[in-house]
Amino acid sequence: MVQLGRFNTLSVIRQVEFGVYLDGGKLGGILLPSSEVPTDCELGDDLYVFVYLDSHDMPVATLKKPYIQLGEFARLRVSQTNDIGAFLDWGLPKELFLPFAQQPQKVEAGQRVTVFAYLDNSGRLAASAKLDRHFDKTPCTLAPGSEVDLFAWRPTELGYQMIVNHRWPAMLHRQDQVQNLHAGQSVKGYIKTLREDGKLDVMLHPPGYGRVHSVSDQLLEYLQQHQGFCPLHDKSDPEEIKRVFGVSKKAFKMAIGQLLKQGKLVQDEQGLHLRG
């Protein structure tokens, strides 16, 4: 079954001068314009295409990847506004509609806004900036330590609010924010805790020894690229450690301890030295 607003693998069923038609099942033939048809395309070929409605509400296919798909969150630029809503640049010719009723505050042209893509009552893909209503209400069943996709929503006094796998809101606490983030950024992360109130905490580095190994490898690579010397050590300023290595002082000290035990480096008041 073809899903609007998502990528689908569809077969070529007819070739015409202005493109090819793909098997859209109940939707009928779906046009892929000639400008996007691969040069070696033949009848029966399977193509991986994004399907959406054009300005005439007809399903159309494209090989282009939009900035957002159905059921996802993204931060998009407002192209223009009118009395009923706003139109967002999502990387396709027909702009994505953000109804006025889906705006917590009125948006202006040129502004960037975080939205969720959904199907409205008429079956058209639309955007909503009222994010809370689109989070998954079922409890998260992912185990602590699970790798996840994180979307940076907005900074707070505690750290950064994130969205896990385009489903659940989560908190990345300041002590676990080992790299600078900006709203709309997508990064890999890990489940840190599932709290009793159902809320999630996440982190950007693997938990436990997996994190130590990754920082250790990073430190060794730095030493190898800088004549075996690093001016930082376990008494260095946390902000300087974060600036150079993108990790917390705690993680850095754990990595130093591991490498000292392995006899791979020496530490003195000047810094760290790679053992020859």
Question: Could you tell me the fold of the domain covering 208-274?
Answer: Arc Repressor Mutant, subunit A (1.10.10)
Cα–Cα distance, 11 to 14 (Å, whole number): 9
Q: Selecting from 3.60.150.10, 2.40.50.140, 3.20.20.10, 3.40.50.2300, what CATH number does the domain 73-133 have?
A: 2.40.50.140
Residue 39: band (very low, low, confident or very high) from pLDDT cuts 50, 70, 90: very high
Which residue spans of the chain are classified as CATH 1.10.10.10? 208-274
23/242: higher pLDDT: 23
Output the pTM of the full model. Answer: 0.76
Please say whether the beta carbons of 25 and 65 come within 8 A: no
Please say whether the beta carbons of 255 and 216 come within 8 A: yes
pLDDT in tens, 92-125: 989 999 999 999 999 999 999 999 999 999 889 9
pLDDT in tens, 180-234: 899 999 999 999 998 877 789 999 887 766 666 678 888 998 899 899 999 999 8
* Superfamily for the 7-62 domain: Nucleic acid-binding proteins (2.40.50.140)
pLDDT at 213: 65
- Whole-Å CA distances, 52 to 1, 67, 95, 99, 239: 14, 13, 11, 18, 46
Q: How many CB atoms lie within 10 A of CB 166?
A: 20
pLDDT at 216: 86
